[in-house]
Amino acid sequence: MKPHVKHSFGSAGVSLLALAAGCVVLAAGCGKQGASSDANSGASQQRAGETASGAAQQPAKASQPGVPQQPAAKTERHAAAPQLKTYAVPGTSLSVGYPKHWKAMTPDEVQTLTKGRMQVTPQCVLFLANPSNYGQNVNIQITDVPGQKDLSDEEMSEQLDAMLPQMAQKFSNFEEVKHGVSHIAGLPAMDMTFRSSFNGVTNRQRSISFIKSEKLYTVTCTAPDSEYDATDGKALQPIVDSIVIRN
């Protein structure tokens, strides 16, 4: 049996697993949300903020022997992809496309829109949402990880396997849909889709984490579970496919 490998961030000694797990949880709505015009998405986002610190403190766990890994998630392009606007995130090497009827917001704009009800995490650099239904959204976080080398597909797979038990402990009614290593912007990524619930509301989320030039990028796609498949084809997957990291 191959030993589990724990990769760390330079001298800080913080495991990739712990930081990525924290980003996955925080990514649900880019932070903690209080009262919201959309009660369903607000409840989900508030629960995500409350559980984030616990996930980040959990030690890395090895994958369970004898449990088969699901096939790697595949990034597929949709034939009828919508026309996208392109947004280059200021001060970063990241650019991303989004549907013309969606809205791109900076953290400050999110604060203004929600009148301070949403406390945006420092790592959040962009929030994309359907203004007709803010429960359909994509948010992107960038975390500096000094000394961290880029990881291979195999190393990403090891980290992802070990992260699953933490997610199950921290989300109410956590249900994994699929997980695997995909390639985003030409880079190997931890790719997990799951359902969770709070106050009777079920959302589906896809969280994607990858490393480039000592930065951890976390992209989280969210929609109510009953709307996820339709939203994925029209907006979520095209947004993921459009991501570019400039050299």
Residue 14 above 60 pLDDT?
no
Looking at residue 247, its pLDDT comes to: 77
Residue 204 above 50 pLDDT?
yes
Asked if residue 196 lies in contact with residue 203, where contact means CB atoms within 8 angstroms, the answer is yes
Rg (CA), the chain: 17
As a whole number of angstroms, the distance between CA 130 and CA 10 comes to 39
Among the residue ranges 65-69, 90-94, 144-148, 232-236, the one predicted with the least confidence is 65-69
Residue 46 above 90 pLDDT?
no
Summary mean pLDDT of the chain = 74
More confident residue, 43 or 213: 213
Model pLDDT for residues 117-128, shown as the tens digit of each residue = 666 778 899 999
Residue 42 above 70 pLDDT?
no
Q: Where are the domains of the chain?
A: 13-61+78-245
More confident residue, 77 or 100: 100
DSSP SS3 for 39: helix
Neighbours of 119 (CB within 10 A): 15
As a whole number of angstroms, the distance between CA 116 and CA 118 comes to 5
Asked if residue 60 lies in contact with residue 15, where contact means CB atoms within 8 angstroms, the answer is yes
Return the CATH number of the domain spanning residue range 13-61+78-245: 3.40.1000.10
Average pLDDT over residues 178-189: 94
As a whole number of angstroms, the distance between CA 5 and CA 53 comes to 23
Average pLDDT over residues 39-46: 35
Q: How far is CA 80 from CA 95, 103, 237, in A?
A: 21, 20, 11
Looking at residue 230, its pLDDT comes to: 96
Residue 103 above 90 pLDDT?
yes
Q: Which structure tokens are listed for 188?
A: 């190997």
Q: How far is CA 142 from CA 20, 24, 208, 238, in A?
A: 11, 12, 12, 20
**Percent of the chain's residues with pLDDT above 70:** 65
